[in-house]
Structure 1
Amino acid sequence: MKTNLNNMNQILFVVDMVNGFCKEGAMADQSIMHIVKPIQELCEKIKPENRYFIADTHGVNDIEFTAFPQHCVKGEVESEVIDELKPYIQTPIIEKNSTNAFHAMKDHPALKDSEIDAYIITGCCSDICVLQFALTLKTYLNAQNIDKKVIVPKNAIETYNAPGHDAKQMNEVSYNLMKAAGIIVVDELN
C-alpha cells in the first residue's frame, strides 16, 4: 500500500542512519544501506526545515553498554550521519544516548507545531529505536489528546541481522506492534 503525502504538512524523522549502524563498528550491518534511497526520496519531498536527523551519540560510560556493545561514541565517526544523507541535514542533529529518541526531544518544537498533520519516522533499527520512538510519540500524542498521524513506511526502516536476531522476522513483529498502537504502517510514501 502506498500513501500520498499531498495535502499533509509533515515532519520527517530519520532515526540512527549513522555510520555505527550502517557501515562500521560493533552494531553495524551494511544491509541497512538499502533503505538510504527511499529516505533520500522522502527528504526531497519534505521541506528542509521539517527534516530532523536523530543520531545515537553516547558517552564512553553510558549504561546502555551493559545491554549492547560500545557503539556510536560522541566525537567518533560511528556517531556521524552517513555521508549519503548529510546533504539533507538542514536542522540541528538531535543526539540521543538511549534507544528511545523521544527522551532526547520530548520538549522539541517539532512536537509542538500545531501546523503539522503527520510525523513520518524512518531509519533503523525497526525493532528497537524506530519502534520505541514511534510508540512513545503515538502514546504522547494520545495522552495530550493531539490528533496527528504517526506514519512509518516499511521501505524506509530496517533492522540488523545477527545470530538470534532475524531482520525479516523482527521487522514483521515491529510492523504489527506499531499497527496495534494506531501507527499508520505503509509499504511506502509518495
Structure 2
Amino acid sequence: MAAICVFCASSRTLDRRFLDLATATGAEIARRGHTVVSGGGCVGMMGALADGARAAGGPTLGVIPQALVDLEVADLKSDELLVTDSMASRKTLMIEKSDAFLTLPGGLGTLDELFEVWTTATLALHAKPMVLVDADGFYRPLMDWLTVLADQHFLKPAGLDLLTVVDSVPAALDAIESRLT
C-alpha cells in the first residue's frame, strides 16, 4: 500500500507513554498494510516505532546519515536501511521515498522534519498528506502559535490547512488513507 514516514523523537530519556505511542503507531501502520519509513534509528520513539511495525509483520525502511551510523544508533533490523551523507540529504530521501507523513511528539529534529515537508508542500513541491498527532495536547502550544502567525499574515491560511491535526493514531491513519485513495 503506502509508505508512511513517521517523524518522532529518538531520545533515550522519554516517558514510557511516548514509547508506547510509537510502538502502537508502528503496529497500526503495519496492521493496515503500509510500510513504515523512519529516520533509521534504533533508539527512543524511532526504535519503538520500527519494532512495533516489525512485531505486527510490517516492513520498515530507515534513512539515516552516516554520522549516526557511526554512533551505533542505526536500526540494523530494518528491512531496508539507506545511509546518506548528511541530515539534509536524509530529509530529502525520506520525502522522496514516502507517500505520506505522520508526526508524533518530538523535539527539534522532529520539528525540523515536519517543517521541511510542510514548507515544501506550501511551495507545491509535493501534495502528500501530512498529519500531526496531537497526543494529550502535546502540540497545542505550537498550533496556537502557528494560528497567530496566520492571523498576522506570516502564514497563509491555506498553508496552515495543509496540515491535518488529530488526537490519535487511528484518526491520523484514517486521514492519510482518505487522501491516498
**TM class, shorter-chain normalised?**
0.5 to 0.7
Q: SS at 1:107's partner residue?
A: helix
Aligned partner of 2:95 in structure 1 is: 111
Partners of 1:173 and 1:96 in 2: how far apart?
Answer: 34
Where is the helix percentage greater, Structure 1 or Structure 2? Answer: 2
Identity %: 12
Aligned partner of 1:175 in structure 2 is: 143
Aligned partner of 2:78 in structure 1 is: none
* 1:46-100 deviation per Cα after TM superposition (whole angstroms, max 9, x unaligned): 2487312326xxxxxxxxxxxxxxxxxxxxxxx7414644524632342487xxx
Specify the code of the residue in structure 2 equivalent to 1:51.
V
- TM-score, L = length of structure 1: 0.52
Task: Check 1:102–1:157 CA distance in 2 against 1; reply closer, same or farther (3 A cut).
Answer: farther
Relative CO higher for 1 or 2, CA cutoff 8 Å, sep ≥ 6? 1
* 1:92-141 deviation per Cα after TM superposition (whole angstroms, max 9, x unaligned): 342487xxx97242431x42358x2x31122422xx22222212211112
Tell me, which stretches of 5 or more residues in structure 2 are unaligned?
55-59, 68-85, 151-158, 171-181
Aligned partner of 2:129 in structure 1 is: 149
Partners of 1:96 and 1:155 in 2: how far apart?
Answer: 32
Match of 2:35 among 46, 50, 59: 50
Tell me, which stretches of 5 or more residues in structure 1 are unaligned?
1-7, 24-29, 56-78, 159-170
Task: Report the Cα offset of residue 156 of structure 1.
Answer: 8.5
Residue 13 of structure 1 pairs with residue 24 of structure 2:
no
Aligned partner of 1:39 in structure 2 is: 22
- Contact residue 11 and residue 119 of structure 1 kept, 8 A: yes
- TM-score, L = length of structure 2: 0.54
* 1:156-176 deviation per Cα after TM superposition (whole angstroms, max 9, x unaligned): 896xxxxxxxxxxxx432233
Task: Check 1:130–1:85 CA distance in 2 against 1; reply closer, same or farther (3 A cut).
Answer: closer
TM superposition outliers: structure 1 runs of 4+ over 6 Å: none
Residue 122 of structure 1 pairs with residue 104 of structure 2:
yes
Task: Report the Cα offset of residue 144 of structure 1.
Answer: 3.5
Task: Check 1:22–1:53 CA distance in 2 against 1; reply closer, same or farther (3 A cut).
Answer: same
How many residues are treated as equivalent by the alignment?
131
Partners of 2:118 and 2:110 in 1: how far apart?
Answer: 12
Aligned-residue Cα RMSD (Å) equals 3.7
Task: Check 1:137–1:155 CA distance in 2 against 1; reply closer, same or farther (3 A cut).
Answer: same
Task: Check 1:94–1:138 CA distance in 2 against 1; reply closer, same or farther (3 A cut).
Answer: same
